[in-house]
Amino acid sequence: MTPFAADHAGARIRPSPNHGPRKNGLRPEIIVLHYTGMATGQAAEDWLCDPRSEVSSHYLVHEDGGIVQMVPETERAWHAGRSSWMGETDINSQSIGVEIVNPGHGLGYRRFPRRQIAAVIDLCRGIAERWNIAPARVLGHSDVAPGRKVDPGELFPWAQLHRAGIGHFVAPARHRTGSVLSDGDAGPAVDGLRSMLADYGYGVAREGACDAPLKAAISAFQQHFRPSKVDGVADRGTVETLRRLAAALPPPRVG
């Protein structure tokens, strides 16, 4: 494995063989945040550097705030898998992946330590500055792979990152009893919700019934932006939060 210089000051280098060139001229425009979902940080680090795993990320952030870089930012790490955002399906080629040590939902999911989150903020700030990545392009793995992935999960402090200038966020609307849409519903109301999710970036069709893929996208949206209740139901609070986010997006960049 060829050694390389750290892109982030203070990061420890441990090269992973699991990477390659970015494809089709794509460059980093997204930061994807994951949790490791393994029993220990060391086990996760070893796995991301094991050629048998065929997975990697650019960075790993340990619970004590220590940062390990495994793939140069110019290269394509293998972290997102089958995923999409804003119509782009090769997320690995247009993103930088950050794994955050946490056992995940299957092994005792817990809150992320303050030192770890401070390190994530510092790391993401540097990445965003180097590649001119917009706040709305700092995403969770669940955002780009709804229904397949749930990390970094509802305990991840997206609001804290937003206050530090990382990520797009608004105060979520309060959950209110009763759903706007139910399983099997179809028509303008469902298509309107689908279009709002698709306009924001989620990989959902703009037309169709209220089905399992739509509910998966709603759950992913709730995990990130309305984590007090994650159930895949398009209640009034979820829809209002989505409208607030869309309204708060900056105008598209020109040139």
Q: For residue 110, with 0-12 CB atoms within 10 Å meaning exposed, 13-18 middle and 19 or more buried, which class applies?
A: exposed
Residues 74, 93: Cα–Cα separation, whole Å: 10
User: Which among 54, 99, 207, 240 is annotated as catalytic?
Assistant: 99
Residues 15, 72: Cα–Cα separation, whole Å: 9
The count of other CB atoms within 10 Å of the CB of residue 157 is 17
What are 235's strand-pairing partners?
Answer: 179
- Identify whether 73 is a catalytic site residue: no
Residues 37, 151: Cα–Cα separation, whole Å: 8
Query: In the block, which residue shows the tokens 């060139």?
Result: 21
Long-range contacts of residues 20-26, Cβ cutoff 8 Å, at least 24 apart: 20/75, 20/76, 21/75, 21/76, 22/74, 22/75, 22/76, 22/93, 22/94, 23/76, 23/90, 23/93, 24/90, 24/93, 26/88, 26/90, 26/93, 26/94
Enter the tokens of residue 247: 């309204």
Residues 128, 73: Cα–Cα separation, whole Å: 11
Residues 183, 199: Cα–Cα separation, whole Å: 22
Q: Which residues are catalytic?
A: 99
